A and B are shown apart, each in its own frame.
Chain A
Amino acid sequence: MDFDLSDEQKMLAEETRRLLSDRASANRLRVLADAGAAWDEGLWSDVAAMGLLGAAIPEELGGVGLGEIDVCVIAGEMGRGPAPLPFLGTVLAADAIRLAGSDAQKTEWLPKLASGETVAAYAWNEGRGAFHPRRMAAAVKAGRINGRKAPVADAGLAKIAIVAALENGEPGLFLVSLGDASVSPMKGFDLLQKQSAVTFDGAAAERLPGASEAFIEAMQDRAAIYTAFAQIGGAEACLYMARDYAMGRKTFGRPIAGYQAIKHKLAEVLVEIELARSNAYFAAWALANDAPELKTAAATARLSATTAYDLASRENLQVHGGFGYTWEADCNFHFRRARLLSAFLGGPDVWSARLIMALQAANAPLAA
């Protein structure tokens, strides 16, 4: 057993962090949010040039030829800002194509996704409540798709989308050019990741031949694991933002960091983050190795990370007092992003049920 990131992965994290700490700083995010921007296009090119979009894509297809754990590492750093980039959708679309696409689809799209030339969205949700691949209205017939997916993250930036839909009553994933769809902005809680409703009215839809219902479910687990890393990155940013503020802010003649209520609050956040990180590492390992524990590990990582980020982002604002509620303070971005990341794949209720169901299944491995 070697339950740690490799030296190369630690270096990858460090380099990514160095780039983003400046380029996705809170000041920079505020400028973008004020301008109503949906992303930072220049940063996207730089991130692509560093190879951060093609970590899991094979070298012969324009990627770096690393693996899922490296994607997790990058996702974690992206979560710290959070970086104003359509990272998750693009990476998930690339994974879907890489794992379930035809050779032709891979050759056509993976190099463009790795280089950042093409931004992609991953569209599964329709309407309210928990997602279920069999309860979709979007349908494909004779290579044409009809239906509405919403919300879809970053669809306004994306050129293509990987879309979940039924074909002959069976769930599948389809590659669709968003130029052939109508994309309309939706209101959303997060300031920087824009959400859209995407309506298909007979657009050409190419099936990813390997994408079954089980594959779509597995994509949810995969999204949960990448997201867990982003949540932990965000939670950690909140923890140290709160710590630093508390060290400098004085009331009643001493720094608020000296009050036990504040110390214990942040100790609680630390505990949640370390438990979540440990679970996320295990899930990343399970994902990279297609381990039998993958399903429970994904749900475990997701629940832990959601708890940690929710707690950290709220308490960060709390520690900042009234200033925390201002546009000028940096709490806002995580305060909103934490909610987005909790809800968008289904909240804790959904994943708790999923986890307990998986644990109950007679042959589920009960221990990690």
Chain B
Amino acid sequence: MHFEDTPEEAAFRAEARDWLAKAAAAYANPPTAPWEEAELVRLGRAWQRTKAEGGFAGILWPQEIGGRGGTPMQASIFDEEEHAYNIPTGVFITIGMNMAVPTIRRHGTPEQAERYTRPTLLGEMTWCQLFSEPAAGSDLANLRTKAAQRQDGSWLINGQKVWSSWAHHADYAILLTRTDPSVAKHKGLTFFVLDMKTPGITIRPIRQISGKSDFNEVFLENVVIPDANRIGKVGEGWACAMTTLMSERAGSRGGESDLDVATVIEALRGTDALADGAAQVKLARWWTVEQGIQNFRHRLTTRMSKGEPLGAEAALVKLAYARKLQDIAAFAMDVEGYEGVAGDSPLREQAEAAYQWGAVMRIAGGADEILKNQLSERVLGMPGEIRADKDIPFDQLEA
């Protein structure tokens, strides 16, 4: 067991650091005022290209497809170094890099892989994920959006997606649809790539509790998708979607609005709060969770760099992180008293953002309860949930 960089890792870190110092100079912390959405997407695309040209995008991807052909350790090192900057990026990039491309490469044809990989790597294609629907979130396979094949082989799509993050800035979508309602719900699904400029798509922003509208309802009315955009076989959509979700979990990092113990201690330095036993116990607890997550990630990186698979226990990162975030954000408000929820106390804005983001993280990408089901079933081998709809053809289920 050792924590130091090996000579090769140290050399890579130095290279990454030097490169970032020049390429990301404009994004040195602390952040300036937040970018307005369109500006963020523009800068995010440009940063992705810069990174790709510098050889630091797709570190784990093979060189033939524009990646670096690097190691999990290098990916983790670059992540750490990049994290020191206030980089413009978002799900419009990560859905493509961490979810769409890995799924297309695994289940699609070589032509499909060729078509989407490089433009995504270069920030030329942004992506959104059209999976969830009003009646299909945790129970994703319950989705209703219908895809019917036409005479010429193309597909006619009708239905409604929801919670579609950044769909209004996406060039393409990964789309999960139902092609056969006469079989059990997981079996009749098919996976597509959808060009978001196709006629028949209506994107309606949903106003969130934050006041922002990062996610949308997406209506699909007689949208035509060529058969060339089908990924995998007809009826294999569930397997494709599982690849997407696994990749999503593996790629998930902190997120937009962090708040950590070090920041809270800095803000409270010199006040009575830090000498209070009850506060110390809470802060110490959250510190142990933060460190535990970081150290757990290091264990996972080590494991992956030895070629071992990422186990189902990786789900615990998001579970532990999201709850901690909500808890510490609530504390940061409480500890300031009345001023913690009104006025100009130094932590207030960050705490409010983190408190809301904590709520998002507890739901998006697998809700807490679903993750606990997964941990108990896949890691501990406990029985699966009782499924009242098991083996019943989808069209015979009660709505």
Contact = CB atoms under 8 A, between A and B. Distances in A.
Interface stretch (B49-57, B90-98, B292-300): B292-300
A257 interface: yes
Interface stretch (B182-190, B235-243, B248-256, B313-321): B313-321
Interface in A269-286: 270-271, 274-276, 278-279, 281-282, 284-285
A285 B1 contact: yes
Contact of A270 (B287, B295, B298, B380): B380
Interface string B281-305: 1011101110111111011011100
B260 to A, nearest CB: 9
Interface stretch (B3-11, B330-338, B352-360): B3-11
Contacts of B320: 271, 275
A321 B96 CA distance: 49
Contacts of A352: 277, 280-281, 283-285
A307 interface: yes
Contacts of A291: 3
Contact of A349 (B1, B265, B277, B375): B277
Nearest to A367: B262
B284 A366 contact: no
A348 B277 CA distance: 10
Nearest to A269: B380
Interface in A298-318: 299-300, 303-304, 307
Given A1-B5, A264-B369, A268-B372, A360 B274 contact: yes
Given A275-B292, A300-B291, A267 B375 contact: yes
Given A1-B298, A275-B320, A307 B262 contact: no
Interface string A237-272: 001000100110000001101101011101110110
Given A1-B298, A257-B383, A282 B291 contact: yes
B173 interface: no
A6 interface: yes
Given A1-B3, A274-B313, A281-B299, A368 B294 contact: yes
Interface centre among B265, B313, B372 (most CB of A within 10 A): B372
A157 interface: no
B386 interface: yes
B221 interface: no
Given A1-B298, A4-B302, A257-B383, A279 B375 contact: no
Nearest to B369: A264
A4 B372 contact: no
B287 A355 contact: yes
A359 interface: yes
B373 A278 contact: no
Contacts of B299: 3-4, 278, 281
B381 interface: yes
Interface in A1-25: 1-6, 9
B382 A349 contact: no
A254 B385 CA distance: 12
Contacts of A360: 265, 269, 274
B292 A3 contact: no
A247 to B, nearest CB: 7
A353 interface: yes
A244 to B, nearest CB: 10
B295 A282 contact: yes
B8 to A, nearest CB: 11
Contact of B287 (A271, A284, A300): A300
Contacts of A282: 3, 291, 295, 298
A281 B371 CA distance: 25
A360 B276 CA distance: 13
B361 interface: no
A353 B6 CA distance: 35
Contacts of A359: 261-262, 265, 287
A2 B72 CA distance: 12
B380 to A, nearest CB: 5
Contacts of B3: 1, 3, 282, 285, 289, 291
B376 interface: yes
A109 interface: no
Interface string B209-241: 000000000000000000000000000000000
Given A4-B302, A275-B296, A367-B262, A353 B313 contact: no
B112 to A, nearest CB: 36
Given A263-B382, A267-B373, 5 more contacts: A1-B4, A3-B298, A3-B302, A239-B380, A267-B372
7 contacts: A4-B1, A271-B375, A278-B294, A285-B3, A307-B285, A348-B284, A352-B284
